[in-house]
Chains A and B, each alone.
Chain A
Amino acid sequence: MIPANFTYHKATSVKEAIALAETHGEEAKYMSGGHSLLPMMKLRFATPEHIIDISKIEGLSYIKEEGDVLKIGALTTQTEMEHNANIKENYPIFSDAIKLTADPSVRNVGTIGGNIAHGDAANDQPALMLAMRATVVAEGTDGQKTIPIDEFFQGFYMTALEPSDVLVEIQVPKAKKGSGGAYNKVERKVGDYATAGVAVHLALNSDGVCQEVGIALTNVSAVPMRLDRGEELLLGKKITDDLIEQVGVMASEDCEPTSDLRGSEAYKRSIVNTITKRMIRLALERAQH
């Protein structure tokens, strides 16, 4: 399978990328890892006339803590995240997700920025970002802007990014004492997109009362979704088995899955319930240690 004809451009800086995108308008697409975009182009689901390669831009691949945030450069590959000592030690939610994302060769190329910018509810990172209440940093014709994650995902493959915006960085709250997160998904076979997945982030105070909570779901809605009702129920309380049961039920009720090759709607609602409960328990255990 060969993609439709297009013209390739290599950008060596964010400014150059934005200028190229401005020149070519709607017909241009950025490519970072290309592991979401190129498969779509080969199947002719996407036929951009111009590809602007941003993967060679220097300085957009890093993982660092500054102040209260963990900053991840958009071009950081999923493999780089997988092997990062700080992530392994302090951000198990990422390690959970990355191990279940595609396979090692895909992760060698696919970037965190691309995984989010793609705006696909089947991708794993969006749910993590919602759960951790990430901030997206983008650069466009008017300079840099920050976009809260709740405003980022706007529709099926649609995000708050303007066509010429380059996602440059993702920021999530730094791990702290009493915080913990977890992610899991059910997949038909290793490396598959999620049949359903759930990300949970919690922070407890010294009395074990829930101070921060984020719960988000993968691939059971057209747009990556936050489980508002479940978060409201847990916030400000000590998390008990009874509350966990209730949130599991809420997740199965509020998600919006459709029946497809990965399973029926009823099956997906049922596994969302189970994964949600398991991930709250795991996040809780991690937050307590």
Chain B
Amino acid sequence: MKHTITMTINGAPVTAEVDSRLLLVHFIRENLDLTGTHIGCDTSNCGACTILLDGKSIKSCTYLAVRADGAEITTIEGLAPEGTNHPLQQAFHDQHGLHCGFCTPGMILRSVDLLKNNPNPTEEEIRWGISGNLCRCTGYNNIVKSVQQAAKEMQNESESV
């Protein structure tokens, strides 16, 4: 059965017809061509498919597209205006928070949610906070440093406003 769904993706409205069983990650990658959202495990363990749905990080491989009707979605493509970097993107670049980059979009979007709830996390809180996102390359240390840099940056920004 087809359902008409309407949502906002990266600020732009999208309307589409989807099957009941279409997964949100497939909708994002295949229907919308936003391939920055990756599929790793396909079993809700690795976090490569993490996106923001109404501001909260979720694993889009374990979410039906039809349930996102009315939602506001942010993928890595929409995190910062074209040609600019979000403080987290900049920090992953500066601190070498990635090697192959497969986990990176998920790591960054998860970290956005983490810093929203806890703007000044301890190292331990960062490690617990990204525990649902696996990285097979970095050994996590540089990811933690990236999140720390971004946290500092984002706090400075919010103080100077």
A residues lining the B interface (CB < 8 Å): 1-8, 10, 34-35, 38-39, 42, 51, 53, 55, 79, 83, 99, 102-106, 108-109, 190-191
Known: A2-B23, A8-B3, A190-B131. A109 touches B63 (CB 8 A): yes
Q: Are B62 and A38 in contact (CB under 8 A)?
A: yes
B60 closest partner in A (C-beta) = A105
B37 contacts the other chain (CB 8 A) = no
Q: Are B57 and A1 in contact (CB under 8 A)?
A: no
Which of B43-51, B89-97, B151-159 is the interface stretch? B43-51
Chain A's nearest CB lies how many Å from the CB of B91?
19
Q: Are A39 and B44 in contact (CB under 8 A)?
A: yes
Q: Is the interface of B mostly helix, strand, loop or mixed?
A: mixed
**Measured CA separation A35–B45 after assembly (Å):** 11
Query: Which of B1-25 touch A at CB < 8 Å?
Result: 1, 3, 19-21, 23
How many residue pairs between the two chains, A and B, have CB atoms under 8 Å in the bound complex? 82
Which of B72-80, B110-118, B141-149 is the interface stretch? B110-118
Q: Are A104 and B62 in contact (CB under 8 A)?
A: no
Q: Which residues of A contact B19 (CB under 8 A)?
A: 5
Q: Which residues of B contact A35 (CB under 8 A)?
A: 44, 62
Chain B's nearest CB lies how many Å from the CB of A33?
9
Q: Are B58 and A105 in contact (CB under 8 A)?
A: yes
Q: Which residues of B contact A83 (CB under 8 A)?
A: 117
Chain B's nearest CB lies how many Å from the CB of A100?
10
Q: Are B21 and A103 in contact (CB under 8 A)?
A: no
Chain B's nearest CB lies how many Å from the CB of A283?
23
Q: Which residues of A contact B110 (CB under 8 A)?
A: 104-105
Chain A's nearest CB lies how many Å from the CB of B118?
10
Q: Are B129 and A5 in contact (CB under 8 A)?
A: no
Contact with A along B125-153 (1 / 0, CB 8 A): 00011011100000000000000000000
B residues lining the A interface (CB < 8 Å): 1, 3, 19-21, 23, 26, 42-45, 47, 50, 56-59, 62-64, 66-67, 69, 110, 113-114, 117, 128-129, 131-133
Q: Are A108 and B57 in contact (CB under 8 A)?
A: yes
**Measured CA separation A191–B45 after assembly (Å):** 8
Q: Are B67 and A55 in contact (CB under 8 A)?
A: yes
Given contacts A1-B43, A104-B128, A105-B132, 15 further A-B contacts (CB under 8 A): A1-B42, A3-B21, A34-B67, A35-B44, A42-B62, A51-B64, A53-B67, A99-B128, A103-B131, A104-B110, A104-B132, A105-B110, A106-B132, A109-B58, A190-B131
Q: Which residues of B contact A109 (CB under 8 A)?
A: 58-59, 62-63
Chain B's nearest CB lies how many Å from the CB of A152?
26
Q: Are A4 and B131 in contact (CB under 8 A)?
A: no
A-B contact pairs, 5 of them (CB 8 A): A1-B43, A99-B128, A104-B113, A104-B128, A108-B57
**Measured CA separation A39–B59 after assembly (Å):** 12
**Measured CA separation A35–B132 after assembly (Å):** 14
A108 closest partner in B (C-beta) = B56
Give the most central of B23, B43, B131: most A CB within 10 Å. Answer: B131
Q: Which residues of A contact B45 (CB under 8 A)?
A: 191
Known: A8-B20, A104-B113, A104-B114. A34 touches B64 (CB 8 A): yes
Q: Which residues of A contact B58 (CB under 8 A)?
A: 105, 108-109
A7 closest partner in B (C-beta) = B1
**Measured CA separation A75–B35 after assembly (Å):** 32
Known: A5-B20, A7-B20, A8-B1. A105 touches B43 (CB 8 A): no
Q: Are A104 and B43 in contact (CB under 8 A)?
A: no
Q: Which residues of B contact A3 (CB under 8 A)?
A: 21
Known: A34-B67, A42-B42, A42-B43. A102 touches B132 (CB 8 A): yes
A109 closest partner in B (C-beta) = B58
Q: Which residues of B contact A38 (CB under 8 A)?
A: 62-64
Known: A8-B3, A38-B64. A105 touches B59 (CB 8 A): yes
Q: Are B132 and A191 in contact (CB under 8 A)?
A: yes
Chain A's nearest CB lies how many Å from the CB of B128?
7
Residue in B21, B43, B50, B63 whose beta carbon sits within 8 Å of that of A4 in the complex: B21
Q: Which residues of B contact A42 (CB under 8 A)?
A: 42-43, 62
Q: Are A8 and B64 in contact (CB under 8 A)?
A: yes
Chain B's nearest CB lies how many Å from the CB of A29?
12
